[in-house]
Amino acid sequence: MKTIKGPGLFLAQFAGDEAPFNSFDAITKWAADIGYKGVQVPTWDARLIDLRKAAESKGYCDDLAGQARDNGVVITELSTHLQGQLVAVHPAYDEGFDGFAAPEVRGNSKARQEWAVDQVKLALTASKHLGLSAMASFSGALAWPYLYPWPQRPAGLVETAFDELAKRWTPILDHAEDCGVDICYEIHPGEDLHDGITYEMFLERTGNHARACMLYDPSHYILQCLDYLDNIDIYKDRIRMFHVKDAEFNPTGRQGVYGGFQSWVNRAGRFRSLGDGQVDFGAVFSKMTANDFDGWAVVEWECALKHPEDGAREGAEFVKHHIIRVTEKAFDDFATGGTDEAANRRMLGI
């Protein structure tokens, strides 16, 4: 067994135009001051990283990593959630997702997709320069509008969507292999990879690509009423990243999983700050530890109620208390009589 690293903090929800959230130097100092040992960096935020420069210059990456270390944290992983989303966009979402892209490719779905692919590849190269072994992303979605269809889906629609999704991602996964970096897809509603079955459909179509891995986040499984503990055992060999995020699901006679188009505060299922929701993190950390996960436990703060700075500060302590320092000996070693094969055979009467 191995001890999980942490706590880490995903910076995406905290970056902003006000100090200390408006520069990599300031935000990493802030993260260290409230108890974090690592930071996960959103590569779309130019206030925190120049992605193209990071892909082109190992020296720039060395300087960035050095600045983080000087401030008391390390870079745990890079994230391409927004760019990965744009690798595959159903036309119904074109306008909604255009804001994720660079201004020069907005309104042009083909150019936007090419830009997104390039961005993800740049982040993989930058990850290599930073000495990282995993990168977070979303898969994007072509089939999502047909999740719960009426009228029924025509035969082959989903299969065609997943064939195309794999076709778009396979060259990126091959680049990931060249870089020695796993792409960890966050299994997430709104993505075609939103549960175990859809992940397996994608994996099969990529030829079980070694770099097509998982980002495990139990909060998304709580909201789907999926067994988030069994999921760890099923996919333990593919789970390479871990978001520590809480959620709760409180269905009523008026609404359930789909939320009735309500705000986050008023949905039956909503994200909560760590410890305020329903995820059994004692069991989660136990299973992750027993399954030899040796990556980072990264807090992703999303809560409709609590102030983000309070959630971040409390989250650091929460993760510290849940990380299990693994034992190097068995608890009953004191009672051992040693190893004696002859004695063992006598005790068995053989």
Which CATH number do you get for residue 280? 3.20.20.150
- The pLDDT assigned to 332 comes to 62
- The pLDDT assigned to 225 comes to 97
**Upstream peptide bond of 145 is cis (omega within 30 degrees of 0):** no
**With contact defined as beta carbons under 8 Å apart, do 288 and 232 qualify?**
yes
- The pLDDT assigned to 328 comes to 77
Amino acid letter at 25?
D
Distances (CA, A) of 209 to 114, 174, 202: 22, 8, 10
Phi, psi of 286 (to 5 degrees): -65, -45
Domain that residue 158 falls in? 5-347
Which residues on adjacent β-strands are paired with residue 80? 137
Distance between CA atoms of 111 and 116, rounded to whole angstroms?
9
pTM of the model: 0.95
Which residues on adjacent β-strands are paired with residue 72? none
What is the dihedral sign for C-alpha 54, 57, 61, 63? negative
Distance between CA atoms of 69 and 234, rounded to whole angstroms?
35
Distance between CA atoms of 10 and 31, rounded to whole angstroms?
10
Q: How many domains does the chain have?
A: 1
Distance between CA atoms of 207 and 166, rounded to whole angstroms?
9
- The pLDDT assigned to 333 comes to 64
- The pLDDT assigned to 335 comes to 57
- pLDDT average per 10 residues of sequence, the chain (350 residues): 96 97 98 98 98 98 98 98 98 96 97 98 98 98 96 96 98 98 98 98 98 98 98 98 98 97 97 98 98 97 97 98 88 67 90
Please give the sequence-ordered ranges of beta strands (E in DSSP) within 210-327, or none if there are none.
212-216, 239-244, 246-249, 269-272, 296-299
